[in-house]
Amino acid sequence: MDCAENMRMNRRDLLRVASGVAAGAVWARGGWADGLPAITRPRATSGDSAVEPDWAERLTVTVGPKDADLVGDTEKPIQAALDYVARLGTGTVHVLPGTYRMRNSLFLRANVRLLGSGQETVLIKQPSIETTLAEDSDWYDQEVTLVDADGFDVGDGVVLRTENVHHGGLDVLRRTLVARTGNRFKLDRALRENFWTLKAPTISTLFPMLTAEETDDLAVESLVLDGNRSHNGHIDGNYAGAIWFQDCSRIVLRGLTMRNYNGDGASWQVCHDVLVEDCHSHDNADLGLHPGSGSQRPIIRRNVLERNDIGLFFCWGVKYGLAEENVVRDNASYGISIGHRDNENVIRGNEVCRNGRAGVVFRPERGKGFAAWGNLLEANRIVDNGADDGVGIDIQGTTESVVLERNEVRETRGPASRVGVRLGPESRDVRMVDNQIDGFARPVEDLRTE
């Protein structure tokens, strides 16, 4: 298929870049266009970020509870190491085995790899607290006064939430407390929104555990993020998650566990060329993985996404993505959800089993022009999804130009009222090629009128 072939071609440079970041080098060597001379002796040259020698040793700073360059068991020494390495241009922060208790985010830095020690490196979020504001703060203010400041400390990451006084929507801001006198706290940045007591604004010690904004060339590997869900308030994945990025490019997430976060496991908004592989996102309140609005060319490979609300959620305008060889199981609602202008993605070779409502859903959205088109589902194994009225693949709304090819869609619990593939009444141009659909009351339910 054209979109699949284009994706394979467009991935070449990305894979070289992603591999280089994970190894500590931001850009990979070679790969020049036809007609240019080969680079036989690369050198470090001022201002040249495209070519870098393959150095035998690179800067590594260790952090740990003991016997490390920086000693401690909170986020503060890890952040200090990230900032130190970033000042020198590139390198690795290696977090040694231990449990690290977090009162604020780790703010990742460009060209710096954060490397844990596998399952022995656990970052855990401290329990959250919440109170309301005691005094009005205007959009230009850089301080807030709390009704009850017990448990809030300087250095804490916080989220402020209020109903907007003008349009009634929700305003959500992330800030850090940097100074205090009694119940008054200075923030690291001005509010830029009005937080007036007539709308009962709240402040909570909630934050993404790993985060970056407007930062490129990031890598995180081999550690556990525990959101301590039962002791933390809920926050939407558009604002936070165990991992949360905004307006970033060229990110590698490899060998991570994101668990028990009262929100999303990993969410990235308007972020391009994100590679997530060999990760385990489980028991989060909302989405296991959330490629967010406008994100181009995500690669999501060999991950296990289980016991979230939705396993893999394509948000608005996610294009040219590849999700392959993932295990997506036992999620409360859907295994894979795709919808609003999520176009020309390939979902291939995944195991999608025992999800609460459907294995794969194409969301209805707002009508023609908003629903997904041009997507390929190929060689997936979609088994035992939904209750008695569950659906293996549910194509809703004005979804169009979908190819379902060589998928195994199976029901082993008995047919009941279950449907293998449902084609909604407004869906168009759904091509089904060599699929195996077995065990359903209706293998294919075609509701289209034309």
Write the single-letter amino acid at 278. D
pLDDT at 9: 37
pLDDT value of position 6: 42
Residue 182 confidence (pLDDT) = 97
* Predicted pLDDT at 31: 47
- Distance, in Å, from the CA atom of 190 to the CA atom of 200, rounded to the nearest integer, reads 19
Distance of CA 384 to the CA centre of its chain: 26
Mean pLDDT in runs of 10 for the chain (450 residues)? Answer: 43 42 39 74 88 91 98 98 97 98 98 98 98 97 98 98 90 98 98 95 98 97 98 97 98 98 98 98 98 97 98 97 98 98 98 98 94 97 98 97 98 98 97 98 91
Q: What pLDDT score does 34 carry? A: 67
pLDDT at 19: 41
Identify whether the C-beta of residue 103 lies closer than 8 Å to the C-beta of residue 126: yes
Residue 12, pLDDT score: 42
293 CB neighbour count, 10 Å cutoff = 16
Amino acid at position 36, single letter = L
Please report the domains of the chain, with CATH numbers, ordered by start residue: 130-204 (2.40.30), 208-446 (2.160.20.10)
CB 253 within 8 A of CB 209: no
pLDDT reported for residue 450: 61
Q: Report CA Rg, the chain.
A: 24
Please report which helix (H) or strand (E) contains residue 407, including its range.
none
